[in-house]
Amino acid sequence: MNILDQIVIDKRKEVDLRRSLIPTSQLEQSVLFERDTVSLTKSLKNSASGIIAEHKRRSPSKSIINQNLNVFDVAQGYESAGVCGMSVLTDAKYFGGSLDDLLLAKASCNLPLLRKEFIIHPYQILEAKAYGADVILLIASILSKVEIKKLSELAKSLNLEVLLEIHNEEELHKSVMPSLDMMGVNNRNLKTFEVSLDTSKHLSTLIPDDFIKISESGISSIESIKELHPYGYQGFLIGENFMKTDNAGESAKSFIKNLI
């Protein structure tokens, strides 16, 4: 069993517990549920950098990245750095995140917010809306085609944008549908944790032009972004690179300044 399989097993238990504690009606009554969402796709189309910056305390592959930076400062720093959007890890067990991180980010900036999570149940999409997300992530490797359709259509009905993450051709072919906005190619092999930009390069020609292309994982240099531009990528998800410094916002600012 690989790490992803284990995460999904744990996530099913976690979602069952959350559903027993907070009914969907309570989520739907939250102050943030009726708000207008902020579009990440528009932000990416109008951006010279395409950077989506992440708040991530730790990960299974790198253990602790940074436990000291608070979300409020990071979100404000990212916004003043001029990033296109912010990705917020909400998984507690493996990444040290929480839905409260999403609330704090929403309170401290006007950036489009991506709930970075292992979504396997419609309840998590209602949570995303209730806690301030503008975009949800769906991971093709843990969902069937029917699940991707059901979850993405629910998200769209709530005015949330959908980023679908793929790792290979098989995942791409089962996932192409009109209820998605963005296709993210994860350069990290989730079985071995090895990272290669060749994954993004290879899949770029197969992704239909209707979707904004985003490259994820292993993007730590300006060179790697410049290498991917000719392949049609408009978005680049960067987490570790900024989070491992003492000031994620300043780190993002100087990165973007050198990029554009």
In DSSP terms, 185 is beta-bridged to 166, 215
Residues with a known catalytic role: 54, 56, 116, 165, 186, 216-217
Q: Which domains does the chain have, with CATH numbers?
A: 37-259 (3.20.20.70)
The predicted-structure confidence for 136-150, as pLDDT tens digits, reads as follows 999 999 999 999 999
Confidence of residue 193 (pLDDT cuts 50, 70, 90): confident
The predicted-structure confidence for 27-62, as pLDDT tens digits, reads as follows 999 999 999 999 999 999 999 899 999 998 878 766
- % of the chain with per-residue pLDDT over 90: 84
The predicted-structure confidence for 5-27, as pLDDT tens digits, reads as follows 999 999 999 999 999 999 999 99
